[in-house]
């Protein structure tokens, strides 16, 4: 059973998606549609372990492309 209260503001958390951004200085990696739990009150976001592992893999792959801005859709990447 999951705790649905935000530990910061005691607001309600809900499952949603967010845009995850990694700024590497020379390039920026943007992952859209990243699954996250988001507080509807203060907007704090939580990403679970499985998702962050997938994110790490996506970011590592994006780094090798070495583009200034790389925009990736989480859903498209995770099925690949
Ligand atoms: Zn909150």
Q: What CATH number does residue 20 fall under?
A: 3.10.20
Does a structural domain hold residue 23?
yes
> From the CA of 17, how far away is ligand 1's center (Å)?
16
Whole-model pTM? 0.83
In this structure, what token pair is assigned to residue 66? Answer: 């070495």
Q: For residue 49, what are the domain limits?
A: 13-79
Does a structural domain hold residue 51?
yes
Quick check: helix, strand or coil at residue 32? strand
> From the CA of 65, how far away is ligand 1's center (Å)?
36
Does a structural domain hold residue 7?
no
Does a structural domain hold residue 4?
no
Tens-level pLDDT at each residue, the chain (80 residues) = 456 899 999 999 999 999 999 999 999 999 999 999 999 999 999 999 999 999 999 999 999 998 999 999 999 875 54
> From the CA of 58, how far away is ligand 1's center (Å)?
28
* pLDDT for 42: 97
> From the CA of 4, how far away is ligand 1's center (Å)?
10
Q: Are 30 and 72 in contact (CB under 8 A)?
A: yes
Tally of structural domains, the chain: 1
> From the CA of 55, how far away is ligand 1's center (Å)?
23
**Separation between Cα atoms, residue 56 and residue 51, nearest integer Å:** 9
């Amino acid at each position: 059973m999951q705790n649905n209260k935000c530990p910061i503001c005691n607001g309600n958390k809900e499952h949603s998606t967010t845009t995850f951004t990694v700024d590497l200085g020379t390039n920026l990696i943007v992952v859209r549609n990243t699954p996250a739990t988001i507080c509807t009150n203060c907007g704090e976001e939580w990403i679970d372990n499985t998702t962050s592992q997938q994110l790490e893999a996506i970011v590592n792959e994006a780094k090798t492309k070495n583009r200034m801005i790389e925009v990736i859709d989480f859903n498209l990447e995770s099925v690949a």
